[in-house]
Amino acid sequence: MPNPMLASAIWSFLEDHAQERPPATLRRLFAEDPTRAARMTHRVGALTVDLSKHRVTDRTMELLLDLARNRQVLERLQATQAGEEVNTTEHRPALHTALRLPRDAEVLVDDVNVVPLVHEELDKAVALAERVRSGEWRGATGERITDVVNIGIGGSDLGPRMLHRALADHHTGDLAVHFVSNVDPDDIADTLEVVDPATTLFVIVSKSFGTIETLTNARTARAWIVDALGEDAVADHFVAVSTNEERVADFGIDTDTMVGFWDWVGGRYSVSSVVGLSLLLALGEGGFRELLAGMRDVDEHARTADYEENLPILMAMLQVWYGSVLGAQSQAVVPYSTRLARLPAYLQQLEMESNGKRVTHDGTLVEHDTGAILWGEPGTDGQHAFFQLLHQGTHLVPVDFIGVLRPTNDVGDHHDQLLANMFAQGAALAFGRTEDEVAAAGVDDALVPHRTFPGNRPSTTILLDELTPRSVGQLVALYEQKTAALAAVWDINAYDQWGVELGKVLATGLLDVLVADEPLQEGDGGLDASTAALVALARRARGRD
């Protein structure tokens, strides 16, 4: 069992250690130890991860790993994969790792081995995808499907959408896949404008099949198909991915064309389930199974590697150091890959919905800051936007740089330029340029403070050998496992999301007030003055008052 007394002693050691003077600077740490870069660079699967540009000494890492050991982080990762009820407020395990286990593996949930169930649904999804991809599946008019529209939001959109783009060079080219998530009418309108009802298949993805945005978009899509092809066409143009068969049937989608998953797969952890159907349609079976294999590589590493070698744990403990000890508020993720442009958005849900929590498992207020504000954009674009703040601003923002060693599209020297920029940013952040160096370069005295780079700004560099389903699977699982490791340190539940509920409830009430036939009366809907004024404005704009 974790020892809370010891844990609080380690937190104090860490806090004292953070105050030690002179502070360890990256310049000094690198100058003193020529082996630092090699010692702190790790390899798992096709990923190389350089942790040397972090503001940590060996002593810092020792204390951080003491904390991890005390919090039994490795044992928590193992217990999660074994099916323990880690989602304590919803009384269920979080078994996304079971989605990528081989057929002969065993993980029990309520005494039932779930691995055969996983493979049964996956096989069903593969067969369905093959029917569509081969042209065996026909639309109502007898034409083959050319376009797939994935309708879902949050975990039912972000993972498939991010990976669809990341693996664009691995699409088989049989189908064009589109994604609609926002309830904003422009989102679906833009997509319906470029597809043809006769050749379009809608994949409605919703774990609950109760998410308003998804159901609203699905209804609009259904009406569009019925309008063009008649009511009987629905069965040929809609498939569903859900855990809720009853709601799928109520909605009017044939449950024979539904593929399912289980409540022990969290939405934001569901991309390796049949939630990835649209991805499977784009990649084909081989690519999708490779993605799962990549995730399994890292799950296995996270379960078996000891603390000093365990990359998700090391990355988590560095985040604890910056966020919970040094007071950093945010974490930037900057992929130097256009293909990975949606990675920050995907990680926002993964990390912020998982670890944006203020109470521990037993409901006690946490004593340290938890999940960081995660944000980012691809490089080199980001360099011309927010990097100024990273280099010379007042905030401490650790950065994850993510790049690819061998490009898929090797055109001229583009890729070399891309990597040169990524490496340059990491070095500039870490080592900066001192006042003396700036002055020695002949810069005017008045400009010296403006042109000085303080440096000592931390970053992780992750390099994928190539952008393949396997390596990208490894990258995703690395962040999933890091997220779980962080939750273990903070003793929070990474698998519930009560924080999104209040807004949903209020929106339902507000919709009634917004569209009511009767004029708005003071006190209607129990609205506060600000919200009431905004509602009144919106009603007037639509001619309702």
Task: Please tell me the distance from the alpha carbon of residue 223 to that of residue 192, in angstroms, as a whole number.
Answer: 12
CB of 496 to ligand F6P, least distance (A): 9
CB of 209 to ligand F6P, least distance (A): 7
Q: Is 353 a catalytic residue?
A: yes
Q: Is 384 a catalytic residue?
A: yes
Of 91, 193, 384, 518, which residue is the catalytic one? 384
Please select the residue that binds ligand F6P; options are 72, 78, 88, 208, rule is CB under 6 A: 208
- Give the binding-site size for ligand F6P (rule: CB under 6 A): 14
Cα 94–Cα 95–Cα 99 angle in degrees, nearest 5: 150
What phi and psi, each to the nearest 5 degrees, are found at residue 541?
-60, -25
| Closer by beta carbon to ligand F6P, 80 or else 349 | 349
Under 8 Å between Cβ of 435 and 448: yes
Site stretch for ligand F6P (CB under 6 A), options 40-48, 76-84, 147-155, 528-536: 147-155
Q: Is 357 a catalytic residue?
A: no
Site stretch for ligand F6P (CB under 6 A), options 200-208, 220-228, 330-338, 527-535: 200-208
Q: Where would I find the beta strands (DSSP E) of 252-329?
A: 258-260
Site stretch for ligand F6P (CB under 6 A), options 149-157, 168-176, 229-237, 366-374: 149-157
Q: Is 260 in the site for ligand F6P (CB under 6 A)?
A: no
Is residue 327 classed as helix, strand or coil in its secondary structure? Answer: coil
CB of 127 to ligand F6P, least distance (A): 23
Beta bridge partners of 150: 179, 203
Cα maximum dimension of the chain: 78
| Closer by beta carbon to ligand F6P, 178 or else 301 | 178
Chain residues 151-190 in contact with ligand F6P, contact rule CB under 6 A: 153-156
| Structure tokens that stand for 33 in this block | 């130890």
The DSSP annotation for 139-191 comes to: -TTSPBP-EEEEE--GGGTHHHHHHHHHTGGG--SS-EEEEE--SSHHHHHHH
144's CB contacts (< 8 A; 6+ apart) are 135, 137, 138, 199
| Closer by beta carbon to ligand F6P, 210 or else 519 | 210
| Closer by beta carbon to ligand F6P, 56 or else 277 | 277
| Closer by beta carbon to ligand F6P, 59 or else 498 | 498
Of 353, 415, 480, 482, which residue is the catalytic one? 353
Is residue 70 classed as helix, strand or coil in its secondary structure? Answer: helix
Please select the residue that binds ligand F6P; options are 36, 42, 53, 207, rule is CB under 6 A: 207
Closest CA to 433 of 451, 447, 420: 451
| Closer by beta carbon to ligand F6P, 352 or else 430 | 352
CB of 353 to ligand F6P, least distance (A): 6
Strands 41-44 and 47-50: antiparallel
Under 8 Å between Cβ of 95 and 109: yes
Task: Please tell me the distance from the alpha carbon of residue 536 to that of residue 545, in angstroms, as a whole number.
Answer: 8
Under 8 Å between Cβ of 342 and 166: yes
CB of 212 to ligand F6P, least distance (A): 9
Question: HSE of 197 in the Cβ direction (CA atoms, 13 Å)?
Answer: 17
Task: Please tell me the distance from the alpha carbon of residue 225 to that of residue 201, in angstroms, as a whole number.
Answer: 10
H/E stretch holding 293: helix 277-304
Of 368, 395, 450, 504, which residue is the catalytic one? 504
Q: What does the per-residue mask of binding to ligand F6P show for 262-281, with x meaning CB under 6 A? A: -----xx-------------
| Structure tokens that stand for 487 in this block | 């939750």
H/E stretch holding 47: strand 47-50
Amino acid present at 266? G
Is residue 41 classed as helix, strand or coil in its secondary structure? Answer: strand
CB of 273 to ligand F6P, least distance (A): 11
CB of 91 to ligand F6P, least distance (A): 17
CB of 14 to ligand F6P, least distance (A): 32
What phi and psi, each to the nearest 5 degrees, are found at residue 180?
-125, 125
Residue count of the chain: 545
| Closer by beta carbon to ligand F6P, 268 or else 301 | 268
CB of 346 to ligand F6P, least distance (A): 11
CB of 151 to ligand F6P, least distance (A): 10
Task: Please tell me the distance from the alpha carbon of residue 136 to that of residue 504, in angstroms, as a whole number.
Answer: 41
Please select the residue that binds ligand F6P; options are 200, 206, 272, 459, rule is CB under 6 A: 206
Please select the residue that binds ligand F6P; options are 81, 87, 150, 211, rule is CB under 6 A: 211
Task: Please tell me the distance from the alpha carbon of residue 429 to that of residue 447, in angstroms, as a whole number.
Answer: 20
Site stretch for ligand F6P (CB under 6 A), options 148-156, 286-294, 414-422, 427-435: 148-156
| Structure tokens that stand for 91 in this block | 């009384």
Chain residues 336-355 in contact with ligand F6P, contact rule CB under 6 A: 353
Please select the residue that binds ligand F6P; options are 497, 520, 527, 536, rule is CB under 6 A: 497
Under 8 Å between Cβ of 377 and 385: yes
Residues acting as catalytic residues: 353, 384, 504
Contacting residues toward ligand F6P, per CB under 6 A: 153-156, 206-208, 211, 214, 267-268, 353, 497, 500
